[in-house]
Amino acid sequence: MVPIQMVDLKRQYLKIKPQVDAAMTEVLDNAAFINGAPVQQFTNALQTYLGVKHVIPCANGTDALQIAMMALDLQPGDEVITPSFTFIATAEVIALLQLKPVFVDVDPKTFCLDPVQVEKAITPKTKAIVPVHLYGHSAEMEPIMEISRKHNIPVIEDNAQAIGGHYTFSDGTTQKLGAIGQIGCTSFFPSKNLGCYGDGGAIFTNDDALAAKIRMIANHGQSARYYHDVVGVNSRLDTLQAVVLNIKLPLLDEYIKARRAVADAYDAGFAGIPQITTPYRAGNSYHVYHQYTLQLNGADRNELQQYLAERKIPAMIYYPVPAHRQKMFENFGGAEFNLPVTDNLTSKVISLPIHTEMDADQLQYIIDSVKSFLNQNSK
């Protein structure tokens, strides 16, 4: 059996090696390392794929979130509503810009921002809402956007884990995740469903004025070369990363289909086991399974992780400490937030390997190993 990886990037690369190697060699031959033609090609292709007017590539997903908040002219002390159950970057950029993170609990099934709790958290100082499409499942965007319109508060979608997913509204219309809020952000970190071979990110919007401002901020605040209208940053997608993304983007739906097949196999393998809650799939969310995350009931998550490691099965905990309990947010009143669902989930979740290259024997070995642990260690 091929060694099991959380994400097997090497085997994925080998399937596209001739195209990638040729495209990278062309960049090296042309020496157009910054803003080469492949960057614009990718930008245009991603705009078409997402059905969004503007895609602005940048250096990474964290920069994408920071630039999005800068483009909204948020001021120190403004409140930004976001989940605590997420990768730290979502909340980190809020604090970096001297804004106030307002942590809100998540839905216990979807792990995404609970719209009811969002509504309760709004104050006159609330200036943005940042839902996270965690693990590849959509947040409840219809009620979130209703709250946005009601209170005139912009929504920044953190779509780092769910590119290619979509959300179906009650009227039957469907939109790609990242293209629903006023701004969407994503990451092309190598392990993402659409990943490059280094760092990369992008920002999406249908607002022409916002797009112009985002482009300016991402390029040192320049309106024209050497004319700097606002304080900006230096954040761009380099040409070598763009050529990889140009090759992978047409394969994204195929990659997602492969991930969903792995999730189907896990779901079937764990069906009827009382100690396991498999990932929920809401009818209006097309889950793209960036992670396959179990909730354990009556079994020790950390012991399972160790048991699997002994059998050379990697398993990860995303995330063991929620943002509101991190030391970095002590001065922002993190410990004052009462988030029982978040605290419960962080003690129970464990993510199993899932990627585009998984074999049937690998899957069966993982499923059998989890079952073996539960048979030996159930409380």
Which residue in 111, 112, 119 sits closest to 145, CA to CA? 119
pLDDT along the chain (379 residues), means of 10: 94 98 97 95 98 98 98 96 97 96 97 98 98 98 98 98 98 98 98 98 98 97 92 96 98 98 98 96 97 95 97 97 94 88 96 97 98 85
Domains 9-104+113-249 and 252-377 share a fold: no
What are the extents of the domains in the chain?
A: 9-104+113-249, 252-377
pLDDT at 1: 85
Fold of 9-104+113-249: Aspartate Aminotransferase; domain 2 (3.40.640)
Catalytic-labelled residue, pool 17, 109, 120, 192:
192
CATH 3.90.1150.10 fits 252-377, yes or no: yes
Task: Evaluate whether 100 touches 324 at the Cβ level (below 8 Å).
Answer: no
Bridge partner list, 224: 227
Q: Quick check: is 125 catalytic?
A: no
Give the model confidence (pLDDT) of 52-67 as tens digits. 999 999 999 999 999 9
In the chain, pLDDT over 70 holds for what percent of residues? 99
Whether the CB-CB separation of 79 and 231 falls below 8 Å is answered with no
pTM for the model stands at 0.96
Token representation of residue 371: 């079952």
Q: What span, in angstroms and rounded, lies between the C-alpha atoms of 357 and 65?
A: 30
